[in-house]
Chains A and B, each alone.
Chain A
Amino acid sequence: MSHVIQDQRPATVPARRGSPLAHARMPRWAPAAIAVGSVAAGIGIGLAAGWESRVQWGMIAALLFVVATYVITTAVENSRQAKDRVATSLVWVCFVLAVVPLASLSWVTVSKGLEVLDPYFLSHSMNGVLDAETGGGVYHALLGTIEQVAIAAVIAAPIGMLTAIYLVEYGRGRLSQAVTFFVDVMTGVPSIVAGLFILATWNLMLGFGPSGFAGSMALAILMMPVVVRSTEEMLKLVPNELREASLALGVPKWKTILKVVLPTAIGGITTGVMLAIARITGETAPVLLLVFGTKLINPNPFEGAQASLPLYVYEQYAVGTDAAVARAWGAALVLIAFVMILNLVARGIARWKAPKTGR
């Protein structure tokens, strides 16, 4: 007896309209078409009603987009699909809402900043430049910012990283709870308070004058909790198995942390430190109190007033003449570019140092 193995398939049933698995579907371009339609309708309604505000036009377009998506999908497909598509369209609306201010900010800063940004602007100070005059530059402020931020990072990064290592690898009980609590509190300290604290202790009690270093100390206070938090998160991501593997080889705990845990997390830690640096680079308040600002180039952060980019922007904008406001935009562009370069460097280091998985 020979067996022929046969796949016993039921006779194919032609797909009917009433099949529970199939229903009418909208074409792929439908969401885009609805979006274009609602934007057009929003503009039309705005023009017809004679509204000035473009924001209002956008709001109406966004509202129309969500409502139209729901109505059309319910009619063509079904109500479950409609809910799905409404959720998608809400995500898109929120995305646009988030991108519009960002794009507008970048556009305004770049277009206004480029008017004054040239090698002369980057290589000269404000020495002898009158407020209403064009010319002058940000060299002294850029130099001050770089020095102050570098000193702050040198103070805050090691302390912050060591604190995080203590919290993750060693901390047990009361002390670590207290440290965690105070780090959280420090995260919320307004920058002006950090500035006032240094002003009260360093300048008023100990009698030092304004200097870049005083500003650095205030910036370090602001930077430390950010470094602790990000380093802590990165160290927690290191699998415990790696620590155990190292300990089981007879490697002491401190060496395990130094040679196994830190190298595994170094990419993320670097990114965290760089982001913390980016955060303090734009701080104005403590710099205003402690570094004081000057028109001259002062390369020594430990002696005498210095300038700094955010402070420069503030001062120039406060002057209010056309030339000064243009300089303020130029300095804002330099500041944003500086922070962006730092972030790109951080990304590069993180990618370079990340654990390799390739074959």
Chain B
Amino acid sequence: MAKRIDVSGLSAYYGNHRAIDDISMTVEPRSVTAFIGPSGCGKSTFLRTLNRMHEVTPGGRVEGKVMLDDQNLYGKDVDPVAVRRTVGMVFQRPNPFPTMSIFDNVAAGLRLNGRYRKSELNDVVERSLKGANLWNEVKDRLNKPGSGLSGGQQQRLCIARAIAVEPDVLLMDEPCSALDPISTLAIEDLICELKERFTIVIVTHNMQQAARVSDRTAFFNLAAVGQPGKLVEIDDTERIFSNPSVQATEDYISGRFG
């Protein structure tokens, strides 16, 4: 459980366009790492390279190394499907499967991967929904469609779905950007609970959120529109928000940017 991610010299491309350039960083296990930076600087692209979702986009390709403990995710014989079972992901917009009930949504990862015992399934669904702080709200209507829930509940359903397959790392791509403050708070509390068990990486546009939930913060920036995004610095969240070592970080955080 909860593995360390070690990225070195990673660049990602869309066709011939280089989206991020030569990024190296370490993500500690059992911690929350936040990515901040202006739109288009490659935060999401970088996040998607961490579970090989980047190459799902037509023309997407990656150079460099991503070590998950001692396994290179971009090694020769590595199966991207197996990588994604180990590194789960929660998306910006809640996306429960519309044809499935709440129960089936949570069980989807196990069922579709075909590696479960029927007796386990009920336990796993209950444990995951409790883990996502959703159990009390939906326990009486597990067979209702997941798309009938509110936006915040749907997002927690998606988190439950992601943790049901017991990944080692959980990637979250702006998980609260479509939610109201109360649902956001629920998800932030959840992130703090989940970091006991998982390595969590979260992309956010909300600086206060990064300050609240993360242990370490990485600031991304791009020199100009059309230029590849770069990692400016990564440090303890406290340092980044109080005394960053790069001027651009301070400008961005304090709003003196542009």
Interface stretch among B51-59, B116-124, B198-206, B234-242? B51-59
Q: B145 touching A358 by the CB < 8 A rule?
A: yes
Q: B112 touching A255 by the CB < 8 A rule?
A: yes
**Chain A contacts of B95 at CB under 8 A?**
239, 241-242, 244-245
Q: Could you tell me the distance between the alpha carbons of A108 and B179 in the complex, rounded to whole angstroms?
A: 58
CB distance from A175 to the nearest CB of B (A): 15
**Chain B contacts of A356 at CB under 8 A?**
98-99, 145, 147-148
Q: Could you tell me the distance between the alpha carbons of A260 and B141 in the complex, rounded to whole angstroms?
A: 22
With A242-B97, A246-B108, A249-B108 in contact, is A359–B148 under 8 Å at CB?
Answer: yes
Q: Could you tell me the distance between the alpha carbons of A263 and B105 in the complex, rounded to whole angstroms?
A: 13
Say which residue of A241, A251, A355, A358 sits within 8 Å of B112 (CB atoms): A251
CB distance from B174 to the nearest CB of A (A): 13
What DSSP secondary structure best describes chain A's contact surface?
helix
In the complex, A264 has a CB within 8 A of chain B: yes
What's the tally of chain B residues with a CB closer than 8 Å to chain A? 31
Say which residue of A172, A245, A359 sits within 8 Å of B97 (CB atoms): A245
In the complex, A248 has a CB within 8 A of chain B: yes
Q: Could you tell me the distance between the alpha carbons of A252 and B162 in the complex, rounded to whole angstroms?
A: 15
In the complex, B18 has a CB within 8 A of chain A: no
With A241-B91, A355-B145, A358-B148 in contact, is A248–B97 under 8 Å at CB?
Answer: no
Number of A-B residue pairs, CB cutoff 8 Å, is 88
**Chain A contacts of B53 at CB under 8 A?**
244, 247-248
Q: B147 touching A248 by the CB < 8 A rule?
A: no
The digit string for A249-284, where 1 denotes a CB below 8 A from any CB of B, is 111100110011001100000000000000000000
**Chain A contacts of B162 at CB under 8 A?**
248-249
With A255-B112, A356-B147, A357-B145 in contact, is A250–B97 under 8 Å at CB?
Answer: no
**Chain A contacts of B91 at CB under 8 A?**
241, 244-245, 248
Q: B51 touching A263 by the CB < 8 A rule?
A: no
Q: B144 touching A250 by the CB < 8 A rule?
A: no
Listed from nearest, the 3 A-B pairs whose CB atoms lie closest are A250-B85, A355-B98, A248-B89
Q: Which residues of B are at the interface with A, using a C-beta cutoff of 8 A?
A: 51, 53, 56, 58, 81-86, 88-89, 91, 93, 95, 97-99, 108-109, 112-113, 141, 144-145, 147-148, 158, 161-162, 165
Q: Which residues of A are at the interface with B, using a C-beta cutoff of 8 A?
A: 172, 239, 241-252, 255-256, 259-260, 263-264, 355-359
11 A-B residue pairs with CB within 8 Å: A243-B56, A249-B162, A249-B165, A251-B81, A251-B112, A255-B112, A260-B99, A355-B98, A357-B145, A357-B147, A359-B144
